[in-house]
A and B are shown apart, each in its own frame.
Chain A
Amino acid sequence: MKPAYLLALMGLVLFACDDDSGIKPPTQLSGFSGTITFKGAWPEDTDQIRLAAALKFPPSTIADVLLGDALPVGGDSIRYTFYTNPVALQAVGVVWKEKGQAWDATNIIGYYFPTENHLAPGTVTVTRKDEIVPNIDIECDLTKVKRAVNSAIGGMLRVQGAWPAGASKVVVAASTAPVLPSSLLDLTFSFPMDAGFDSTRYIIAVQPGTYKLVAALVIENGKSIGMESIKGAYYSFGGIKIKNAETRVLDVDLTLIFPPGSLRAAPADKPSPYTKPLK
């Protein structure tokens, strides 16, 4: 066969074949589903709400968060299905967006809590390409929305002792709960900071209100957040008062004290060796 004919034939064969090994619409649906219920009145400045699923919690970058499509606004409850490839998620929640502001995946108004412990988010694991994990129900508290503010709590975060080997990130959280926080929704978090520093400044953008507790949480590699993550705390019986959206209190210093040993927290009935004495 002459080369020209051979090439033409090859071209025709190639032309006849579509290559379907590329990107394609999802055919097998995997993900999780459930019901979202809303408590409280819808704020007038609500722009959108979306489901957010975190690969790491608290997330450090947007790559740690899967954001769903916009959900309907204004109802009492929504049935939803969130499609994703098989994945292990450390947290699932609903994020709120204020009109005129950018998305902030930390502006969470409801988490998935599978148990009564509302201080650690529930994990969700999608294992197969055709699996929809059911009953991932979320209750949202519309009074917990966080608006864009200039108000903040901040200070120095110092470290005593050597960082434990498993330490990955540090976040600082502020709580408006009267005594101790009972839910992650009572907490406002700083940006996660890489572990390993001797001292650093932290800042948390907080809503106006009175904050009784500011705590540093040390997160272990591959683990999510929980009460046992608290390694240093600042209690204020009078409370840190954030009068308005411009109030900034930037002298709330914390110390993380790491004695030799592991990251494990002290039993709840004993004073934590890592906690700064009460003020």
Chain B
Amino acid sequence: MHRAHRLLLALPFLFAIGPQPLPAQSSGRISGRVADAKTGEAIPGANVMIAGTVLGANSDPEGRFSINSLAPGSYDLRVSAVGYRPFLRRSIAVAAGAQVQLAVALEQTLIETGEVVVTASKRRQSIEDSPTSVGVMSNRELEQKNQVYLDKALENAAGVNFVGGQINIRGSSGYNYGAGSRVLLLIDGVPVMPGDSGDIKWSMVPASQVDHVEIVKGAGSALYGSSALGGVVNVITKNAAVKPLTHMRLSAGFYDKPMYAEWKWTDRLLHFDDIDIDHSQRIGKSNLMLALGRHQSTGYAQNGWYQRVNGLFKWQRQLTPKATLTLSSHYETNNNGTSLMWRSQSEALSVAKEALGDRVKSDKFGLNLFHRWAANEKFALNTRVSYFRNFWKNYFHDNLNASQANRIGVELQGDYQFSNSNALTFGTEEAWDIVESGLVGNHEQYVLSGYIQNERKLISALALTLGARYDLQKVDTGFKDENLSPKVGLVWHALPWMTLRGSSGSGFRAASMSERFSNSVYSGLQLVPNPTLKSETAWSHEIGASVLLLPLLSLDLSAFRSDYYDLIEPEPTVTQEIRFVNITRARISGLETSVQLQPGIPGLSLTTAWTWMDPRDLDLDATLAYRPRRISQTTLIYRIGPVEMSADYRYIARLDQVKLYPLEDRVAQKTLDLHLTWHYRQWSLGGHLNNARNHNHTQMERTLLPIRNYMLTLSGTI
């Protein structure tokens, strides 16, 4: 595993080729400010694209943007932000050495349309040009949901549900005891999956530090490799501002009494509070952002307490007119009790007496370096270097264990825009995992990948995407695996108001070290290793249509099907052991629809999404465990002057199959959250009632989800 040295040796070379200055007089610049057309307030995080080039930018917290290195000529500029109608300015003339200053005023819309996304194709593109389904959750939506952590906010995204903290996109993951995920989590485009467990730690980046989240559904392995078998979630953090800007969010709340007196386990008031502050400003030629957060809760269930501290640091600098460098780091320290299973259904908020002192302490640290060099309008080279460390130590009554996983990654990505109708994305990626763990032993893993994707307009309204990725994985045990993940996609803008899309792609996921080597106790269950686990593979297909009838409604329909081979699933044995095995064949097929409706009452909008699935274990001719057959989410928003009222309702059908306690009661999940927010200048005061109807349900056996809780939030900018 001396390849890491090779990677590190390569870095100076990579940066040397990056910031090559060109004569300043040869290029021009478009800069400006993006603001709300009605209020004049800055719109942060707006996506600014120069059509037919690789150039673009995001507006900072003050709404400002700047695109440099433009050769003299005429350009089309497109600006989009979630919640606003896209802005298009054609034929902007840029002269050599000149700066074009623009004031971009975006009109609010309750119907989302035309967002620019960066995850589906690893480059900026309008969401309508993506051949796969992409969901976007904006900062405004995150604030409206007022959830501290992203997993709670993402529960409202179409086709998404959680089981025991594990994200499922269209039923992909099921539940596997935190030992791996079929959804890849990226923070600012960098994978942050711990090398030992390979699952997602949602508390790493609090929602208040996030600009927006992109959710790519279906196999994403053709660009992202292993773990993206069921989809990709890319968390885009806030950018630093030029002017000093401080944003804060304070919230506190408490849990209601349990619905049933038998469940009461304490006379104390069970409460939680959160503080998040971020500050950004320009120092010299650099933009800096520092965010800190502290989050604590007594928990609603016995031993469900936690104390967390988060930090996020971002430093951005324009090295030359063509080169930008971003250094970012995120850190979290977490101390929490564990309440994995209830004592009994009669004491559903209590844990077994012997587990009362069980707790886990963990630290996560990520450091990312991102360098972008736009040689000209046609070609850009992106370099990402990342380090991620995950450490945890548990103090359980039946086991003491600790694990440390380090991951180093390097990615080189080239974007070449041949013309307005032909774009090429290609790159290589190397990742090196080093794990020292009482859970999985000491192991090293190396992954080398290469990918290429071409998007070409066959005619003006029809675009074809072809791509493939090759991955080579080596584990120190001698295990070696190679995978080729091809993909094809078509987008047809059939009518001005209708786009049809279709995609088909292969994906794979290498077994995580936890799945392969775990040898420990988890909630009284013994995890046993299975070093012979094969990688799982899948073919995913999707056809979809999006219809946009402004200003009334937007509608998206998809039919999807994923055929899995050697699907890795946990198999509990009679000796209370859990071992991961390859299920030979499985299939998840279904339909998904999402509708945004503005029914004609000013300020009122309705968003609803429905997903129907048929998750089958084809070997056993049975429903796959921990996958619901139906999910729906509905959000109703009413804005009147400075007041915004909203309601989120989630329905998740009763699970047909579970692995451990199939005889015990299971019910559908029916959660209603109510929000009332008053906006005054840069400040917002919100009252929130989560699980308003106090519906008691579980996502996995013997774990009750949060009962009704009340929360007050104050957020604003200084």
Please list the residues of chain A having a beta carbon within 8 angstroms of any beta carbon in chain B: 3-4, 7-8, 11, 14-15, 17-26, 55, 58-66, 69, 84-85, 87, 102-106, 191
Contacts and interface: CB of A to CB of B under 8 A. Distances in A.
Nearest to A18: B694
A14 to B, nearest CB: 6
23 contacts: A4-B638, A11-B647, A17-B693, A18-B259, A18-B693, A21-B695, A22-B667, A23-B696, A23-B704, A24-B696, A25-B262, A25-B345, A25-B346, A60-B574, A61-B572, A63-B572, A69-B344, A102-B521, A102-B576, A103-B575, A105-B576, A106-B574, A106-B575
A18 B672 CA distance: 11
Interface in B216-274: 259-260, 262-263
Contact of B574 (A3, A14, A17, A64): A64
B348 A61 contact: no
A7 B599 CA distance: 14
Given A63-B660, A102-B576, A4 B640 contact: yes
Nearest to A52: B574
A161 to B, nearest CB: 25
Contacts of B659: 61-63
Contact of B573 (A23, A62, A66, A69): A62
Nearest to B601: A3
Contacts of B663: 55, 66, 84-85, 87
Given A25-B263, A63-B659, A15 B665 contact: no
A99 to B, nearest CB: 12
Residue of A58, A61, A66 with most chain B CB atoms under a 10 A cut-off: A61
B312 interface: no
B573 A11 contact: no
Interface string B687-699: 0010011111110
A11 B643 CA distance: 15
A63 B575 CA distance: 11
Interface in B45-64: none
A93 to B, nearest CB: 12
Query: Size band of the B side of the interface?
Result: 35 or more
A61 B263 contact: no
Contacts of B577: 102
Interface in B666-688: 667, 670, 672, 674
Nearest to B348: A23
Given A18-B694, A23-B667, A85-B665, A61 B576 contact: no
A232 to B, nearest CB: 22
Contacts of A61: 571-574, 659
A23 B575 contact: no
Contact of A15 (B348, B692, B696): B692
Residue of A14, A63, A105 with most chain B CB atoms under a 10 A cut-off: A63
A73 to B, nearest CB: 15
Nearest to B576: A103
A10 to B, nearest CB: 8
Contacts of A8: 645
Given A11-B645, A63-B660, A191 B574 contact: yes
B688 to A, nearest CB: 12
Residue of A3, A62, A64, A65 with most chain B CB atoms under a 10 A cut-off: A62
Given A8-B645, A14-B672, A23-B345, A3 B638 contact: yes
A102 B526 contact: yes
Given A3-B638, A191-B574, 6 more contacts: A15-B689, A19-B693, A62-B575, A102-B575, A103-B576, A104-B575
A18 B665 CA distance: 19
Nearest to A64: B574
Interface of B: 259-260, 262-263, 344-346, 348, 521, 524-526, 571-577, 601, 603-604, 636, 638, 640, 645, 647, 658-665, 667, 670, 672, 674, 689, 692-698, 704
Q: Which 5 A-B pairs have the closest CB atoms?
A: A22-B696, A19-B693, A62-B572, A19-B695, A59-B574
Contacts of B672: 14
Contacts of A106: 574-575
Contacts of B571: 61
A50 to B, nearest CB: 11
Contacts of A65: 574
Contacts of B521: 102
Contacts of A63: 572, 658-662
Nearest to B398: A102
Given A15-B692, A102-B521, A105-B574, A21 B667 contact: yes
A200 B658 CA distance: 29
Nearest to A107: B575
A140 B704 CA distance: 36
Nearest to B637: A7
A33 B191 CA distance: 54
Nearest to B577: A102
Given A103-B524, A103-B575, A191-B573, A22 B695 contact: yes
A65 B603 CA distance: 55
Nearest to B262: A25
Contacts of B262: 25
A104 B574 CA distance: 7
Contacts of B575: 62, 102-106
A65 B664 CA distance: 12
A103 B524 CA distance: 8
A60 B39 CA distance: 65
B693 A14 contact: yes
B644 to A, nearest CB: 11
Residue of A14, A23, A60 with most chain B CB atoms under a 10 A cut-off: A23
Contacts of B665: 23-24, 85
